[in-house]
Structures are given as C-alpha cells and as structure tokens.
Amino acid sequence: MNDVHRIIQERQSTRVPFDPNRKITREDLQQILDAGRWSPTAHNMQNFAIVVVDDAEVLEIIGKVKSRISEEFLRENYEQLSFSKEELLEKKTGILGAMFPPSWVDPSKMAEVARESAPMPLTQSIRGSPCLLIVVYDPRKRAPASAGDVLGFMSLGCVMENMWLMAQSLGISLQVLSAFAAPPVEKQVKQVLSIPEELRIAYACRLGYPTGSTKYLRVRRDIADFAHYNKFGNKGI
C-alpha cells in the first residue's frame, strides 16, 4: 500500500471531544490550507474562502450560537441508520443508530423532538476543538452550465477532502460539521465572523487532537458493489 492509499484508509470522522489546550500550530494549519489551495475545482474557479477560527474568545462566542434539530434531518438521518453492528456490516452503508440520542432514532417521537427540544449551543458540536475552518462560497458564481451548481459543490467537496487528508497525514483529527450551514446557525455565525451577506457557509471542519478513543465501526461497500466494466451491469473484470 502506498502512502496516499494508507492515509485515505486511515482518514476518518472523529466525533469525540478534542483537547482545547492542544492548539493546531500555524505551520500545520498552513499545510492544511495549502492542501485546500491545490484542490481541483470546476474551471479552476477556486470558489471558496476559508475562515480560520482559532481565537479562544471567538470560539466561545460561536459556541453560544444555538442550533435546532429539524424533523427533516431526523427522518432522513433515520434512513441511513443500522441498529446493530451486524446490520451495518450487512448493509455496508450508513452509520450506527447508537451514535445518536435514543429519542432521535425513534420515528414515533421525531415530530415531538423537533418541536419540543431546547436548541443546542454549538459548543456541543465544537467539543473542545481549538480550531474551526469555516468554508464559504459565493452562490452568485456558479460553475459554467452547471445545473444547481453541482460542479461548484463538488469542488467544495474536493477542498474538504484535500484538507482532511492533509490533516490526517499530520496526525490531526477532523470532523465535518454540516450544522454550520443550516440557515439560522449560518446567519449568526456569519454575523460573528463578519462574513459578507452574499456568501454562504458550505460546511465547517473542527480540527484537533482527540481526548478519547476514536475507533468506531466503519463500513464500505465492496468494489464489486459499485463498479461496472464497459457496460452498466457488467460486473466481470
């Protein structure tokens, strides 16, 4: 296995708390940003800006922004869940329901949970991270002839993956936080960081060094499950 393959396989989502006192050095940060810089983007538009937040006071203010869980999220999240390790290993896609509070994974309670739950401060998502990368884009600049700007969004995904692999290679853990892109959260975070009105948050990444075990069951389909040779449906090599 070459180094790239090893880092691709070792990269994972790290959802445990990070050590707030173990900062990401500016040298490491530069390397992660440089990996983002060299990402492929549609038409080389480089349709992104990244707001680095590593000032403890700013992190604290962002941590106070509250986020609400939506019924849409709960219902669509449920579709991706398995309720035992065996089920997940069999399905080979999705995640374990045990990663979420029990009331989030009970369809009979989802409407009530979405209606009644107290909004959660982002500090519960940031979980001690000493550094956030907030990736923003300008929705007025779509990739040429790309319906829904799908090519623009793919480009933002390339930035994510490049930075994630670089962080992994430096021994730095990362978790993507989509909650930052949800409209009410996005609006407040943009205000805190003086992000211009016309830009949108695509996602945030929290970086850091984990305080506990990061191991969890990760599954993938086999190549034979998605690869077709010369004609869709032809599984022979």
Ligand X SMILES: Cc1cc2nc3c(=O)[nH]c(=O)nc-3n(C[C@H](O)[C@H](O)[C@H](O)COP(=O)(O)O)c2cc1C
- Give residues in contact with ligand X (CB under 6 A): 12-13, 15, 95, 175-179, 203, 218
Interatomic CA distance for residues 13 and 156, integer angstroms: 18
CB nearer to ligand X: pick between 95 and 113: 95
Provide, rounded to whole angstroms, the least separation between the CB of residue 163 and ligand X.
12
Residues with Cβ within 8 Å of residue 212, at least 6 apart in sequence? 16, 17
Interatomic CA distance for residues 176 and 112, integer angstroms: 27
Q: CB nearest ligand X: which residue?
A: 178
Buried b / exposed e along 78-111 (16+ C-beta atoms within 10 A): eeebbeeeeebeeeeeebbbeeeeeebbeeeebe
The length of the chain in residues reads 237
CB nearer to ligand X: pick between 55 and 225: 225
Provide, rounded to whole angstroms, the least separation between the CB of residue 20 and ligand X.
19
DSSP of 21-39, one letter per residue?
A: TSPPPHHHHHHHHHHHHT-
Q: What DSSP character marks residue 13?
A: B
CB nearer to ligand X: pick between 49 and 217: 217
Provide, rounded to whole angstroms, the least separation between the CB of residue 175 and ligand X.
5
Provide, rounded to whole angstroms, the least separation between the CB of residue 159 and ligand X.
11
* Residue 16: φ, ψ to 5°: -80, 165
Residue 207: in which H helix or E strand, if any?
strand 200-208
Provide, rounded to whole angstroms, the least separation between the CB of residue 109 and ligand X.
21
CB nearer to ligand X: pick between 59 and 174: 174
CB nearer to ligand X: pick between 178 and 234: 178
